Amino acid sequence: MANIWALVRREVQSYFASPVAYVVLAAFLWLFGFYFYAYLETFIDPRSVAPGEVVNVNQDMLRWVFHTTAFFLLFLLPMVTMRSFSEELRSGTIELLFTSPLTDTQIVMGKFLGALILYATMLATTLFHMGVLFYFGDPEWKPIAAGYLGVFLLGAGYIAFGLMFSALTKNQIIAGLLSFGSFILLYLVELAQDRGGWFTSAIQYMSVDRHLEEFAKGVVDTRDVVFFLSIILLGLLLTKQSIESYRWRG
């Protein structure tokens, strides 16, 4: 564990030693704040509520905030992961990792946890907005916690697959585009035309937005948790295989 955490610290320091962390954090905070207050303004506008309709801040506002957050993560998280292995491969410093007392699994986990800490920091910056709701209103905290859990697991899955694409190429731009393309596919696959049958059901089951829906509603379903954990595990396993193949070729 000590070896992994040494690599985690190195990764976190490398993020904040470059403009990457600051650009991603600033963009994320601006986008979240913009949509949060846009949805809040709509929610408190009496003209948006039908006469006699009962509204709930969790279901009628925060639910859509979490969905929108998941959407712009498609664009931001590739920026976090695209240089993780690509830069090491391009500069040759990957050889230092291979000759260090680190296994391939430890290297992958160190990179993953370093990116995950940056992502958790991004989510932590949004707690101020939730504090505003609690200060002026009385939302339910459990659905909010469920929403954060869903968005966190979704982002962790994106990061795992982003690391895999970063390990496949020395070009950061290509790694970022491949990550973005795979994220878009996982996000939009639910739109596949429903022709019935097990194949269509299987394709639609891969939609991350469908599995996020229950979390956004405040429901933690073990099936959705297992889905996201499976995505994370698959991404990490494929990343490890990519690293092993590079070591073998080298």
Q: Give the single-character DSSP code of 190.
A: G
Which pTM value belongs to this model? 0.90
Confidence of residue 231 (pLDDT cuts 50, 70, 90): very high
Tens of pLDDT, residue by residue over 136-176, are 878 888 999 999 999 999 999 999 999 999 988 889 999 99
- Please, what is the average pLDDT of the chain? 86
* Residue 226 to residue 243: CA distance in whole angstroms: 26
Tens of pLDDT, residue by residue over 71-97, are 999 999 999 999 888 888 888 788 787
CB count in 10 Å sphere of residue 58? 19
pLDDT more than 70, % of the chain: 89
